[in-house]
Amino acid sequence: MIGTREDRVLELFAEHFGGRPDGVWSAPGRVNLIGEHTDYNDGFALPFAIGHRAVVAVRLRHDERVIVATTAPGDPVDTTLSALTGERIASWAAYPLGVAWALGEAHGRDRLTGFELAVHSDVPIGAGLSSSAAIECAAALALDELWSLESGRPALALAGQRAENTVVGAPTGIMDQTASLLGEADAAVFLDCRSLEAEAVGLGFERAGLEVLIVNTHVSHDHATGGYASRRAACERAADALHVVALRDASLDELRAARDDGRLDDEAFRRARHVVTENARVLDTVATLRDVGAAAIGSLLDASHASMRDDFEISVPEIDTAVEAMRSAGALGARLTGGGFGGSAIGLVPSDDIGAVADAVLAAFSRAGFREPTVSTVSPSAGARRER
C-alpha cells in the first residue's frame, strides 16, 4: 500500500469533501492477552492495543448534516444529527454515527454540530482484533475534541460501547474500547470492569526475548448475532440463580453447591466456571508479570484456552489447530483471543522460534484442509491519539 494511513484518509477526505479536515485522529485494534467474556460479568481483563489502527479525518459543518465516507466498499452515508435516534444502522457507518449519537445522549444534542468524516482502517475485519472499537474510538476522540465536550477517555469508552450495543446491536462489554483508548506501548491495560479502573501493566516482551504471534484464521464472527449473545445470557442466568449481581461475585465453591442442588445445570455450571476461573487467571497473570516476568505466564494462557474450548465452548477447529500447532512448535502458551466463534489465536513465542512456529501453523492448516491463515506478530502499542 502506497502512503501512510493518514495519507490515505486525507486523500479520501479530499475526494469526498474537498479541502482539508480540521484534524486527523487514530485509534488501535486490540489483542486480549487474557480475560475473555469477563468484561460483561463485572470481571477483569488484560488487553493491549496493537499497531493496526483506524484513522478518521473530520471537519465540522455549520449545519446539522453528517456525511461519512470510507475506503472500504460501501457508499458514503449522508444523514443529519436529528436522524440519529439510536435506532440500528445496518452498515459500517453505524460505528461513527453511533458514537455521535451516544455523545449527544451524554452531553445534550444542542452541543453538537454536523460533520464530514472519512475513515480508513488497517485493522483486519472479523479477525477478533476489534476493528469496530478502533473506528468508534477514533471517531469518539475526534468528535469529543471538535465539539469541546471534554468527556475524558473512560467516558469515551462508554460512548463507544453504547454505540456498539445500541446502534450496531452487539451486546458487548467495555474491554475493547478501553484497550483502544488507554493502551500504551509495551504495556497491557489491566481493567476492572466493575469500577472501570484501568492500570498499565508492563509486558517486557522484548526484554524477555518474546513476541506475540497472531494467527488470523479468517473464520469470521459477528457479535451482533448468535453465540456471543447466548453466552452473555447464560452468564446472567447463572448470576441470577446464585443471587449475585454478576459472576464476578461468585466463587467456585458456590458454583459447585449450585450445581449439586440443581440451581445450575451442567452447561450453566461450565459457562459460569469459565468466568470465575478466568477472572482468577487474569489476576494471576498480572501478579506473575509483575513478580516474575512474561516468560512465566504461558501456562495461564493455555489454561484460559482450555476453559474457553471446553467450558465456554467458543472455540472452533481452526483456532484449536492454531493453538496446538503453536504450542507443539515452541510457544510458551497460546489461546483464542477475542469473543470467539472464529477470529484469531495468539501465541507467546521466543523470538528465535517465531519462523518455526509460524511454519508449523501453516503446515497444520494445510494438513487439516483449512483455508490458509494469516500469521504475523503484534506489539503492544499506543492508544488513541490525534495525528495532525
What is the C-alpha separation between 263 and 275, in angstroms, rounded?
Answer: 17
**CA-to-CA dists, residue 168 to 131, 251, 281, angstroms:** 13, 34, 31
What is the set of active-site residues? Answer: 176
164 or 353: whose CB is closer to ligand GAF?
164
The residue length of the chain stands at: 388
What is the C-alpha separation between 132 and 220, in angstroms, rounded?
Answer: 14
> In angstroms, what is the minimal distance from the CB of 242 to ligand GAF?
20
- Fill in the per-residue mask, 189 to 228: x = in contact with ligand GAF (CB under 6 A), - = not in contact: ----------------------------------x-----
What is the C-alpha separation between 137 and 382, in angstroms, rounded?
Answer: 13
Q: What is the residue type of 273? A: R
> In angstroms, what is the minimal distance from the CB of 367 to ligand GAF?
29
132 or 381: whose CB is closer to ligand GAF?
132
144 or 164: whose CB is closer to ligand GAF?
164
32 or 216: whose CB is closer to ligand GAF?
32
Q: Identify which range of 2-10, 68-76, 170-178, 195-203 contacts ligand GAF by CB under 6 A.
A: 170-178
End-to-end CA distance of the chain: 21
339 in contact with ligand GAF (CB under 6 A): yes
96 or 173: whose CB is closer to ligand GAF?
173
What is the C-alpha separation between 134 and 122, in angstroms, rounded?
Answer: 10
- Fill in the per-residue mask, 26 to 45: x = in contact with ligand GAF (CB under 6 A), - = not in contact: ------x---xx-xx-----
Q: Which of 176, 311, 318, 353 binds ligand GAF (CB under 6 A)?
A: 176
175 in contact with ligand GAF (CB under 6 A): yes
98 in contact with ligand GAF (CB under 6 A): no
φ, ψ dihedrals at 165, nearest 5°: -70, -40
* Closest of 55, 26, 60 to residue 143, by C-alpha: 60
- Fill in the per-residue mask, 126 to 145: x = in contact with ligand GAF (CB under 6 A), - = not in contact: ----x---------------
Q: Residue holding cell 462489554? A: 173
**CA-derived radius of gyration, the chain:** 21
Check residue 243 and give left, alpha or beta (phi > 0: left; psi -120 to 50: alpha).
Answer: left
For the beta carbon of residue 218, count every other beta carbon within 10 angstroms. Answer: 17
> In angstroms, what is the minimal distance from the CB of 278 to ligand GAF?
9
Residue 214 contacts residue 376 (beta carbons within 8 Å)? yes
134 or 348: whose CB is closer to ligand GAF?
134
> In angstroms, what is the minimal distance from the CB of 47 to ligand GAF?
8
What cell numbers appear for 267 in the block? 452447561
* Closest of 314, 384, 379, 386 to residue 160, by C-alpha: 384
Question: Which residues, in sequence order, are bridge partners of residue 376?
Answer: 214
Which residues of this protein are in contact with ligand GAF, per CB under 6 A? 32, 36-37, 39-40, 130, 172-173, 175-176, 223, 338-339
